[in-house]
Structure formats: C-alpha cells, structure tokens
Amino acid sequence: MTQSRSDWGLWACGALVLGAFLIRVYHLDAQSLWQDEIVTVTYSQGNFGQALVNSMVQFRASAPLHYLIVNLTALHVSLTEGMLRLPDVLWGTLSVAVTFLIGRRLFGIGAALLGTFLLAILPLHVYYSREMRFYSLATFFGVLMVFTLIRALERRTPSAWRWYGITVTGGLLTYYYDGLIIAATGVWVWLLWRTTQPGSAARSRRRTDFYAFLRATAAAILIALIWAIPEILTDDPAFAQRFTFPTMPPVMGSIATPFLFHLTAPFYADMPFYPGGSMGVDPLGSLWAVFAWISIMVGSMIALNTLRRSEWGRSRESHLLLVGAIGVGGIGVVLILNYVMGYFWSPRQFVIFAPFLTLTAAGAVTLIGLRLNRPRTQIRLILLVAAILSLILLRPALEGVFEVQKEDWRGGTRYIQRHWQPGDVLFALYREAHTLLYAPEWKVGEDVLQLSGDSAPLEAAFEAGKTRLWLFYLEVYPPKPLEGWINEHCERQTKGIGVGVRVYLCLAQEGQ
C-alpha cells in the first residue's frame, strides 16, 4: 500500500513538473527583452574569459554564475529571446521538482504535492522563471541547498557533504540573498545538536553534523569571496551613497507581495498596495495572501504547542518551523536589509523564498488536518484547498504567460531600423541605449547619442546639418523638460511599435 502510494505520488509530481514547464515555456519569445535582460546580455557578451571578467566586476549587483550561463547560451545556442530565457525556465521547473522532494521528506506526499502544486502555478514564480535574470537560478540553488543538506544529515558521508558544499557555492555565486537560507538552516542544524539529550550517542552525531555543516559552508563562502575580490577592491563611491533610509513600504504590501502580483500592472507604477514596486496586488491575490498567512500562523501555533524537545528535527512540527523560518524569516530580513541599504523594493527579491512559503502553507494545512485525527479528512482538506487556490492563482499566473507585460524594445528598435535613412541620428536615454543589442550596426557617438535633460544636443544636431532625429524612451521615464520641444518638432510613431516605449521622429524646420 505504501509503495503504491509512493508510486502514485511520483507520477503526480511528474505531471505537476511537466505542467509547470509548459506554463513557463509557452510563448517564451513573444516578449521583447527588457532593460534588465538586455543588461544581462551586455555583460555576458564576448568570449567566456570576457564574460568572466565582466561578471566579477558586477559582483555587487549580482553574483556571476548566471552571466556565465547566459554567455554559454549565447555563444553555443542562440541569441534569440526564447533560447536566452530557456535556461531560466529550466531552473524554475527544476525548483518545482526539488520542492516536492523536500516536502516529501519533511511532511509526507500529501503536503509535498500541495506545496509543489502551489509553486507550479504561483504567479510570482512563473513570472521570474520566464525572465532572463538570476532569480530563477537562485531559487533553484536555494531549494537544492536545503535538499542536499537533508541528505547529508541522513547519510553522514563525506560525498554528501561535498554535494552540499557545491550547492552552497552555486547559490552564493548566483545571488547573495541565498545566504539567508544558509543562515536559517545553520540555526536548524545547531538546534538539532543542542536539543538532543546530553551524553547520548545521538548528540555526538549531531555535533559532528554541525561541524561538518560549518566546514562545508565556510569553504563555499571562501570561494565566493575569492571571486568577489576584484569588486571589493574597486572604489565605488556610488555604492556607498546607496546606504540611505527610504520610507518603509505599507504593511499590506509587505504581507501580500510574496504570494501574488497582478502582472498586468505597469512596471515601476505607483500601485496602491506597493508604491514604487514592480507590480500591484489584485483582490484575489489579497485573498490568497490572507489564506496563506492564516494557515502559516495557525500551523505554527499548533507546532509550537505540540512540539516536544526530544522530537526536534524528526517531527512535522519542527520541519514546519524550519521552512517557515526560511520563507517568512527570509522575507523579513530582506525587507530590513533593503531599508538599511536604500535598495529598490521589488518582488524579485522574494521569489527565492517562494518554495518555502508554499511548503509552509502546505505543511500547515497538513498539521491542521492531523489535529482532526482523521486521515481521510486530512486528504479531503488538502484537495479542497488545492482546488480553491487553483481557481485563485491560475488566472493571474496565465496572464503572465499570455499577455505582453514589458516594454517592447524589439518593436521600437526595429521600427526605427525599417525607416532609417543615411544621416539619421538616434537620441536615447541611458537605459534605452541598451537597445543597441537589437541594432548592432548603430555606432555609439555617431548614430546614437545621449539624450540629456534639455534640448541643447537636439538643437546642436539640427545646426550641424542633421534633418532627421529619432527619440526613443520608455513611457515610464519621459524626459519631461523636453516635452514642449518634442511637441513642437516631433511626431510620435505608433504603428507596430508595441507597448511601453515611445518613438518620435523629429524633422528640421525651415531655417534650421
């Protein structure tokens, strides 16, 4: 019976992983690369050695491993949007699979399938699994670190600890916030040791486990620090100026953002739930967030009330506290760090904790069901929760797949290419200048010039004999001091350009 149930669980997991992949890969190349993705390709271009140097210089912004993967993809596969994003789809899909493996070990097959299902359709995870940035890879390494740690604690072999050290190294070389997962699991391993009966053989084994954990983690941190030395030695006054204290985000935004975003909201919009953030929360997202937090709080209270010291590390209650500490605690620490560093508030920083949030909610539902002392009732409760939440989450998850959300850099650039004439000049803001990825024939300083805060460079171009000037910028970053000049001299081009960008053609007037 147990073997049959295990086989059924593996087949169900396989179906969920396949569904997660199909959701994430569908129409993957439909959207243009956008600002951050274009920056990623820019730093990943050239041969592998050049990408390696660029990645080390960028260590403060993000660790280098993802840049090297993009470099290999661009060199040996393709520079198309879909192929460049495909590795991140794979990392996101694999993180769904590893989430099941963690959940099965910690809570059983029922909770594992529920947590895996929720992650497979969680809009936050779907969205960032379809973007060519390091967040999907960091999420994968986050769950892989926890899984390999569990295996190392079970097997207690040097090879198991080496695999754990490798995954920790990969996580730290992808995104430094993965270090928060390492810290939380470190506390857990320490508690496994300290809560074991003094003088027992089990306590001695737990102490050995803790020191093995420290050695593997220290080696991984050392490797990451060696990679970061060039950036640490770089004098960057702009980085020091980021240590400011911005306004804290609203409580509702902090509560709801980790669980769901309405993906049709414009980027950097002033949203009622999350001012200055990337996306806003819709009413259904609020319902899901309320359910998730209530489940986590109720389940945690049950765990704290029923957990016995002797059962620490071996019971569902202690496992719930572990994944809850990673998911909820990690989000709390990120919020504090962002506040201290003055960093931009964005849901992207929460996505690495998404698997642990869904596992915490699933584990809490399982504990609530167990309190009823009826296995059939527990299974029915899990299925009911899964059905209800699928109705809530599927729509916004699929919106992120079927609707165009980001600026159409490709459309704007190609429109200008089609209508380009000898002697034309393109003026672009700093961010928009990255669209040269779509037009390598344009030369910076000749065909493309920097658009500043006044009309002097534009007037100078007309005075130098230029008759046709192109302006290219994002709708959310309009050059407001130039609006009057643009209205007088330029005509907006709209046909076939797409969303999020503005293209203007400015013609020299008689006498200029």
pLDDT given at position 160: 95
pLDDT given at position 316: 77
Asked whether residue 72 carries a pLDDT value surpassing 70, the answer given is yes
pLDDT band at 118 (very low <50, low <70, confident <90, very high): confident
What b/e readout covers 180-208, taking b as 16+ CB neighbours within 10 angstroms?
bbbbbbeebbbbbbebbeeeeeebeebee
Q: 495 and 346, same structural domain?
A: no
Count of structural domains within the chain: 2
Which of 354, 385, 402 delimits the end of a domain? 402
Q: 433 and 356, same structural domain?
A: no
DSSP string of 405-473, one letter each residue:
-S--HHHHHHHHHHT--TT-EEEE-TTGGGGGGG-TTS-BTTTEEE--SSSHHHHHHHHTT--EEEEEE
For residue range 398-416, list pLDDT tens digits in order. 665 666 556 677 888 888 8
Looking at the domain assignment, is residue 116 inside a domain? yes
Q: What is the domain range of residue 425?
A: 409-507
> Where is average pLDDT lowest: 60-69, 120-129, 299-308, 373-382?
373-382
Asked whether residue 259 carries a pLDDT value surpassing 70, the answer given is no
Percentage of the residues of the chain whose pLDDT score is greater than 70: 69
Q: 114 and 59, same structural domain?
A: yes
**Bridge pairing between strands 448-450 and 490-493:** unpaired
Looking at the domain assignment, is residue 460 inside a domain? yes
Looking at the domain assignment, is residue 512 inside a domain? no
Q: 354 and 413, same structural domain?
A: no
pLDDT band at 280 (very low <50, low <70, confident <90, very high): very low
Q: 425 and 384, same structural domain?
A: no
Q: 415 and 291, same structural domain?
A: no
Q: 194 and 149, same structural domain?
A: yes
Which of 402, 430, 460 delimits the end of a domain? 402
pLDDT given at position 271: 33
Asked whether residue 178 carries a pLDDT value surpassing 50, the answer given is yes
Q: 244 and 285, same structural domain?
A: yes
In this prediction, residues 82-95 reach a mean pLDDT of 93
For residue range 332-357, list pLDDT tens digits in order. 888 777 777 666 666 778 889 989 98
Q: 328 and 218, same structural domain?
A: yes
In this prediction, residues 122-146 reach a mean pLDDT of 91
Asked whether residue 75 carries a pLDDT value surpassing 90, the answer given is no
In this prediction, residues 28-49 reach a mean pLDDT of 77
Percentage of the residues of the chain whose pLDDT score is greater than 90: 20
- Residue 458: how many CA atoms within 13 Å on its side-chain side? 30
- pTM attached to this predicted model: 0.81
Q: 244 and 134, same structural domain?
A: yes
Q: 120 and 15, same structural domain?
A: yes
Asked whether residue 255 carries a pLDDT value surpassing 80, the answer given is no
For residue range 184-237, list pLDDT tens digits in order. 999 999 988 888 878 888 889 989 999 999 999 999 998 887 776 655 555 444
User: What does pLDDT average to over the chain?
Assistant: 77
Nearest to residue 454, comparing CAs of 486, 424, 500? Answer: 486
Q: How many residues does the chain have?
A: 512
Which of 382, 402, 422 delimits the end of a domain? 402
Asked whether residue 245 carries a pLDDT value surpassing 50, the answer given is no
DSSP string of 15-47, one letter each residue:
HHHHHHHHHHHTTTTSSPP-HHHHHHHHHH-SS
Q: 394 and 256, same structural domain?
A: yes
The answer to whether 268 touches 475, Cβ cutoff 8 Å, is no
